[in-house]
Amino acid sequence: MKGLDATLRSLPLDMPRPRWWRRGAGRPVSFFEFWPGWLFYAPVVLQWIWLGLRYGDFSLPTAANPRIATGGLCGESKTSILDQIGAEQRHWTAPYILFQVGENPPRDAAAAERAIAEAGLAYPLVVKPDIGCNGTGVRFLAGADDLARYLREFPPHLAIVLQSFVRDEGEAGLFYIRRPGEARGQLTSLTLKSSPVLIGDGRTSLRDLILADPRAGYVPQLYLPRLAARLDEVPASGEAVRLVFVGNHCKGSTFENGGEHITDELTDCIDRIARSIPDFHFGRFDVRFRSVAELRRGTGFTIIEVNGVGSEATHIWDPRTTLPQAYAAQFFHYRAAFEIGRRNRAAGHPTSGLMETFRLWRLQRRVMAAYPMND
């Protein structure tokens, strides 16, 4: 974390924060935001069952993106999606390589360093498992020592992604839908993501700063284990301490509904990128960007990940979102996934099938349980 802190301290802290953060008042957490997953997603599961019965295939959404394993619902390779972005649109993506981890960490580290050099990449880097979700196992690598440490903790015989760290401070999730036959897709959601930042006073420990914060103190279990080695530190007066690196809600990042920033220019740009991916119809582009103004113009951003059917419109985790609004968004998107899958099935694209989808879901759960803790 020291290398991460040093690098992030060199970046500006004046990018957009959630409105509750900028106001310094208001509701920091919606009442349903941290419900247990089984409780929040129960209505979504019921809708999925109803749509599966209606269309005669519970795995129908896996045909929404037929060139991606399970349509990107679970068990898919992250690089297998990025690799499909057309050559003319590839410049939007942060450079990356895929590396297969073996059983000898020192030898793996040496091989990984050679692969990094051959690909023309340089530290700092971001490392993530090739199969996974929700930011599990994602870390910042300031140098070779961080990579060697990660490889010692990573399970053997699985692949990792080594990707250039994008220094732009802004991060966003852009949800895209294009029904088969439509000339142009649409952006149905834009979420601005922020890493929680606490400001030291020279007297209070990091642990107490977390517990006293209106939002972080509500979910300290997201931060305390990750920062266990630093909890007794006393940040200097005015020192900014970022609590999490990965832009995932379940890992502690804060989300703001940025739907008002969806423009025709941005939609056209993402549509061109999405259409360069063969038969891609449904999913989320995770990007880092220089400024909201540039993002609105469809410029100044870099794709760090593309997710398929397993992704969601994350603006629902804005504390201002009501429960009916959250479910309306969930129902709309999963209904669209079924409708797109139905059209693709009619065009001859097979679904993954319930048993194969379940097998890959279990595989994903099993390997994720073995990944190192994320930054």
What are the tens digits of pLDDT across the range 48-63?
A: 999 999 999 999 999 9
Q: Residue 31: how many CB atoms within 10 A of its CB?
A: 10
Domain that holds residue 148: 37-194+253-347+362-368
For the chain, strand residue ranges (E) read 96-100, 125-129, 139-141, 159-164, 170-177, 186-194, 197-199, 240-242, 254-257, 282-289, 301-307
Provide, rounded to the nearest whole percent, the portion of the chain with pLDDT above 90: 85
> Is 50 exceeded by the pLDDT of residue 13?
no
Structural domains of the chain, count? 1
Report the distance separating Cα 246 and Cα 33, nearest Å: 18
User: Which residues make Cβ contacts (< 8 Å) with residue 248, sequence separation at least 6?
Assistant: 134, 135
Q: If you average pLDDT over residues 130-157, what whole number do you get?
A: 96
Q: Which of 118, 76, 67 is nearest to 97 (CA)?
A: 118
> Is 80 exceeded by the pLDDT of residue 160?
yes
Report the distance separating Cα 118 and Cα 145, nearest Å: 19
Give the model's confidence band at 3: pLDDT under 50 very low, under 70 low, under 90 confident, else very high: low
Single-letter amino acid code for the residue at 294: E
Domain membership flag for residue 236: no
Q: Which of 244, 263, 275 is nearest to 301 (CA)?
A: 263
The neighbouring-strand residues paired with 208 are: none
In tens, the pLDDT along 296-340 reads 999 999 999 999 999 999 999 999 999 999 999 999 999 999 999
Domain membership flag for residue 273: yes
Domain membership flag for residue 90: yes
Q: Where are the alpha helices (DSSP H) in 78-220?
A: 78-82, 105-118, 144-153, 206-212
Give the model's confidence band at 17: pLDDT under 50 very low, under 70 low, under 90 confident, else very high: very low
The neighbouring-strand residues paired with 173 are: 191, 286
Domain membership flag for residue 113: yes
The answer to whether 140 and 147 have CB atoms below 8 angstroms apart is no
The answer to whether 193 and 247 have CB atoms below 8 angstroms apart is yes
CATH value at residue 105: 3.30.470
Lowest-confidence pick of 15-19, 190-194, 305-309: 15-19
Report the distance separating Cα 20 and Cα 310, nearest Å: 28
Q: Residue 151: how many CB atoms within 10 A of its CB?
A: 23
> Is 60 exceeded by the pLDDT of residue 9?
no
Encoded tokens for 58:
């519970």
Going by the DSSP 8-state scheme, the letter that residue 161 receives in this structure is E
> Is 90 exceeded by the pLDDT of residue 270?
yes
Domain membership flag for residue 243: no
Q: What is the pLDDT of the chain when averaged over all its residues?
A: 92
Report the distance separating Cα 310 and Cα 35, nearest Å: 19
Q: Which of 321, 28, 296 is nearest to 170 (CA)?
A: 296
In tens, the pLDDT along 70-121 reads 999 999 999 999 999 999 999 999 999 999 999 999 999 999 999 999 999 9
Which string of b and e fits 174-191 if b means at least 16 CB within 10 Å?
A: bbbbbebeeeebebbbbb
Domain membership flag for residue 5: no
Domain membership flag for residue 50: yes
Q: If you average pLDDT over residues 158-165, what whole number do you get?
A: 98
Domain membership flag for residue 21: no
Q: If you average pLDDT over residues 281-285, what whole number do you get?
A: 98
Q: For the whole model, what pTM was predicted? A: 0.91
Going by the DSSP 8-state scheme, the letter that residue 266 receives in this structure is H
> Is 70 exceeded by the pLDDT of residue 14?
no
